[in-house]
Chain A
Amino acid sequence: MSALRIRGLEVRYGSHRVLGGVDLELGEGEFLGLVGPSGCGKSTLLRCVAGLVQPEAGHVEVFGNPVRGPSPEVGILFQDDALLPWRTARENVALPLRFRGASPREAQEQADRWLRRVGLEGFGDHYPSELSGGMRKRVALAQVLAVRPRLLLMDEPFASVDAIVRHVLEVDFCRLVAEAGTAVLLVTHDLEEAISLCDRVAVMSAGPAARIVAVYQIPFGRPRNPVTVRAENEFGPLVRAVWETLQVEVARMGWELSA
């Protein structure tokens, strides 16, 4: 059974047709990268899968069940680490556990364990404003992973941290998610990141009415180190191939804007 199956997905904001028939499939435990010109509808696609946006047409299935709203099987990590500012790191991680009926003590213990796993032992009592950007990302990651989603949606999760922290986060993230066997749909504007992390990379066309125009198979196996994999021989040609497809779409968007 596939983790995610999207067929003919169309989404409209008022008269603006954002997605015009997206087809996409994601196997269990697979990492799929999604790149596309900004504003083409990548976030919209993720929000449909998360059950936050109602599609106009087409259907979205997660593990064989049509999406009708937020589901416990689907975790989502947004670009801005939207932690609750009035809750400590521990309370933030415990939150989804509490929603699922864990007792306060049980939730706290699990939250502490997850904080330790993401390398934040001893920071449980800190409020998000007391943590660095990279640390907040880790808390957010612990928060979604704590309820063991089978499908994880990530919307440019590492976009706002500096390059070194990002690489460290990528390595940690790969390990954690691979251990859990979670399927991942990763939206990013950094195609090297997409290639270094994912099993396949899909390129989306420029909007309006965006679709998937190409899907690239990434030949590197997993587990892999997403930083050192960039030094592999095949990496360069892959980046160029994906970029050439993406470039066409970016150029099309430029034409669209000036028209």
Chain B
Amino acid sequence: MSRVLGLTLFLGGWELASRARWLDPFLFPPPSGVGWVIYELVRSGQVWPHFRVTVTEALAGLVLGTGTGAALGLVCAGFRPLAEVVEPAMALLNAIPRVILAPLFVIWLGIGMASKVALSFLLVMVVMFFATYTGIREVDGRLVERVRTLGGGRREVVREVYVPSVTAWVASGLKVAVGFAFTGAVVGEFVASSQGLGYLLSFAQSTYNASLTLALIALVVGVILLLFWGFGSLERWWLRWKPEYRSRRACPKALPRTVRPAEQVP
């Protein structure tokens, strides 16, 4: 609630300041003006082809990166020698700002969608690799023993322990990865492209069109927030067993009744 209020105050103040010319409306166009630009972009249909391109790139990067990262993490967790090669490489990739590779991808793959998918893929892949790899390595050995002593074999251990604990990590990784997927796509377009929201952004920038720039930023942020919300709900449902995701339910405080006297259980 306070967040909504804060945002309203901020936008309202900005609107006022811009209209009263305390802020240069050329550099800081009022939110209503930006809203109007977004409306025009959407209404005229101008933005759709670009929008579609960026979303396609980001989703392709997300899907490919998640698949590859998860598979690589899986194999590395199971096969030590490979992990010793791959893990440091991933750690290095994780440490550098990966977007600096964007120009390289443009040289290699051209200014089409491929170079953007590649960048998005790279950003996502590193995140998902670590989510999967760590997830498997952090599996609670006590739970594995528990399942084994209860009569579970290899398959049961994987199904009951490995899969749920790894998906918990992957679910949290995915939320980060969604943002990264769009970062990759938009930054890639910004560097060199002929279509996409990033292309429009660089066009808006080169013409000093602050309204258009802000409108495009708002659009990208909107899409990411939407996906965040989607993945967030998915995560909350999937990890509903975690105390922090638990739907409000009366927590039993009272000591339960003692055992019933002899009752035959087959």
Q: Are A119 and B242 in contact (CB under 8 A)?
A: no
> Could you tell me the distance in whole angstroms from the C-beta of A102 to the nearest C-beta in chain B?
11
Are the CB atoms of B252 and A126 closer together than 8 Å? Answer: yes
| Contacts between chains A and B (CB distance < 8 A), count | 105
Decide if B258 touches A172 in the complex (CB within 8 Å). yes
A68 smallest CB distance to B (angstroms): 13
Within 8 A of A (CB), among B114-146: 140, 142-143, 145-146
Q: A129 and B142 in contact (CB under 8 A), knowing A76-B149, A84-B160, A119-B258?
A: no
Complex contacts, B249 vs chain A, CB 8 Å: 126, 130
Task: Determine chain B's interface SS by DSSP, over half rule.
Answer: loop
Please provide the chain B residues from 139 to 165 with a CB less than 8 Å away from any CB of chain A in the complex: 140, 142-143, 145-152, 156, 160-161, 164-165
By a CB distance below 8 angstroms, the chain A residues around B266 are: 110
Residues of B within 8 A of A172 (CB): 258-259
Q: Are B252 and A131 in contact (CB under 8 A)?
A: yes
Distance in Å: Cβ of B101 to nearest Cβ of chain A: 38
A85 within 8 A of B: yes
User: B149 near A52 (CB under 8 angstroms)?
Assistant: yes
Query: In the complex, which residues of chain B have a beta carbon less than 8 angstroms from the beta carbon of A123?
Result: 252, 256
Residue-wise, chain A 216-243 has the 8 Å CB interface mask toward B (1 for contact) of: 0000000000000000000000000000
The reply to whether the CB of B3 lies closer than 8 angstroms to some CB of chain A is no
Interchain CB contact under 8 A, A86 and B164: yes
Q: Which size bracket describes the interface of A in this complex? A: 35 or more
Report if B260 contacts A (CB, 8 A).
Answer: yes
Does A175 interact with chain B (Cβ within 8 Å)? yes
In the assembly, what is the distance between CA of A120 and CA of B258, in Å? 9
* Residue contact B161 to A84, C-beta cutoff 8 Å: yes
Q: Tell whether A138 pairs with B150 under 8 Å between CB atoms, given A52-B145, A80-B142, A99-B156.
A: no
CB atoms of B259 and A130 under 8 A apart: no
B84 CB within 8 Å of chain A: no
- The yes or no answer to A105 lying at the interface (CB within 8 A) is no
B252 touches A168 (CB 8 A): no
Distance of A95 Cα from B150 Cα, bound (Å): 8
In the assembled complex, the CB of B264 is this many whole angstroms from the nearest CB of chain A, namely 9
Interfacial chain A residues near B255, Cβ < 8 Å: 134, 165, 168
B241 touches A78 (CB 8 A): no
Query: Please, could you name 24 A-B residue pairs with CB atoms under 8 Å apart, sorted by A?
Result: A51-B149, A52-B145, A72-B151, A84-B143, A84-B146, A84-B147, A86-B165, A86-B239, A87-B160, A87-B241, A95-B152, A96-B151, A99-B156, A100-B151, A116-B263, A117-B265, A119-B258, A123-B252, A128-B241, A129-B246, A130-B252, A144-B150, A168-B258, A175-B259
Extra 7 A-B pairs, beta carbons < 8 Å, given A82-B145, A95-B150, A138-B256: A78-B146, A86-B164, A117-B265, A119-B258, A119-B260, A132-B253, A175-B261
